[in-house]
């Protein structure tokens, strides 16, 4: 099944780097990143924080590495201090944007309506969302993760229903209790939850393309066994993606 699948690794740098550190990382590694992408045939998407997007876009212009944003505004333009418009992301050269990351959902109290608007703004400007879903620790313990994922997918479904053209959407399943904790669920558990995502998006598959990603404490060791999950086409990687050597090992673990 994986043989013909286009594989993806998304590097979510969060706010691990200052502006200068992000520039330094890209200066040092962009050539090797391109070689890695060529050698592995994995599509690599780098998501720096907003302050570094323009510069990194400039640096990546000579490469085929894709650029992603960590967030965008739900609004088209106007009096929204501190926000970043999908139009600007498109003009900068972003192809992807993370939406509904649990850290943003929590910090910004994002509602389904806000998420819907963000996805709509991205589609209007020809960007693809990397839409994040995942259950909390207590939902995992109370075995309500399936219900939670179905609820979280609803805003995405509502937007897709209204699209006339075909869209590409990455869905990153990231159990919240796995993000940054080093705790990773068994493949059996994850496979079951990816099954729910597949089932939920099945009615939209004729028109749209989906890329399923796993996220949550992916490292160079667990990536090998996580890659065995049949539904996934790659990983959304936080902390480990800030270290080029670890990122390289994760990318290479998606082979075969």
Q: Of the two residues 234 and 238, which places its CB atom closer to ligand PEP in the complex?
A: 238
Residue nearest ligand PEP, Cβ-based: 238
Query: Considering the complex, what minimum distance in angstroms separates the CB of residue 62 from ligand PEP?
Result: 27
Question: From residue 5, how far is each of 211, 228, 234 by CA, in Å?
Answer: 9, 13, 10
Q: Note whether 12 and 236 are within 8 A (CB).
A: yes
Active site residue 76: no
Q: Of the two residues 37 and 217, which places its CB atom closer to ligand PEP in the complex?
A: 217
Q: Largest Cα–Cα distance of the chain, in whole Å?
A: 49
Q: Note whether 11 and 237 are within 8 A (CB).
A: yes
Q: Of the two residues 60 and 240, which places its CB atom closer to ligand PEP in the complex?
A: 240
The secondary structure element, H or E, covering residue 210 is strand 209-215
Q: Which residues bind ligand PEP (CB under 6 A)?
A: 12, 174, 179-180, 215-218, 236-240
- CA-CA-CA-CA torsion sign (251, 30, 97, 12): positive
Q: Of the two residues 75 and 136, which places its CB atom closer to ligand PEP in the complex?
A: 136
Q: Note whether 41 and 55 are within 8 A (CB).
A: no
Query: Considering the complex, what minimum distance in angstroms separates the CB of residue 226 from ligand PEP?
Result: 11
Query: Considering the complex, what minimum distance in angstroms separates the CB of residue 155 from ligand PEP?
Result: 19
> How far apart (Å, rounded) are the C-alpha atoms in residues 5 and 133?
22
Selecting among 101, 103, 120, 125, the annotated active-site residue is 101
Active site residue 135: no
Query: Considering the complex, what minimum distance in angstroms separates the CB of residue 223 from ligand PEP?
Result: 11
Residues belonging to the active site: 101, 174
């Amino acid at each position: 099944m994986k043989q013909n699948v286009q594989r993806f690794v998304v590097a979510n740098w969060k706010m691990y780097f200052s502006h200068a550190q992000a520039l330094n990382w890209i200066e040092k590694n962009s050539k090797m990143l391109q070689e890695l992408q060529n050698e592995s045939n994995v599509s690599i998407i780098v998501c720096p924080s907003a302050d570094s997007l323009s510069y990194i876009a400039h640096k990546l212009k000579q490469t085929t590495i894709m650029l992603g944003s960590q967030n965008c505004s739900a609004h088209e333009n106007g009096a929204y201090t501190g926000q970043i418009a999908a139009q600007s992301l498109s003009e900068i050269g972003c192809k992807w944007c993370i939406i509904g990351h649990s850290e943003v959902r929590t910090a910004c109290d994002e509602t389904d309506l806000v998420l819907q608007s963000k996805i709509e703004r991205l589609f209007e400007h020809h960007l693809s969302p990397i839409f994040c879903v995942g259950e909390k620790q207590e939902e995992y313990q109370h075995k309500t993760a399936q219900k939670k994922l179905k609820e979280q997918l609803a805003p995405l479904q509502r937007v897709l229903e209204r699209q006339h053209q075909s869209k590409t959407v990455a869905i990153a399943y990231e159990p919240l209790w796995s993000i940054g904790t080093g705790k990773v669920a068994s493949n059996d558990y994850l496979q079951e939850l990816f099954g729910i995502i597949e089932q939920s998006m099945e009615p939209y598959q004729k028109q749209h393309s989906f890329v399923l990603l796993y996220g949550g404490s992916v490292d160079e060791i667990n990536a090998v066994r996580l890659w065995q999950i049949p539904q996934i086409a790659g990983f959304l990687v936080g902390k480990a993606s800030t270290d080029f050597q670890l990122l390289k090992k994760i990318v290479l673990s998606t082979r075969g």
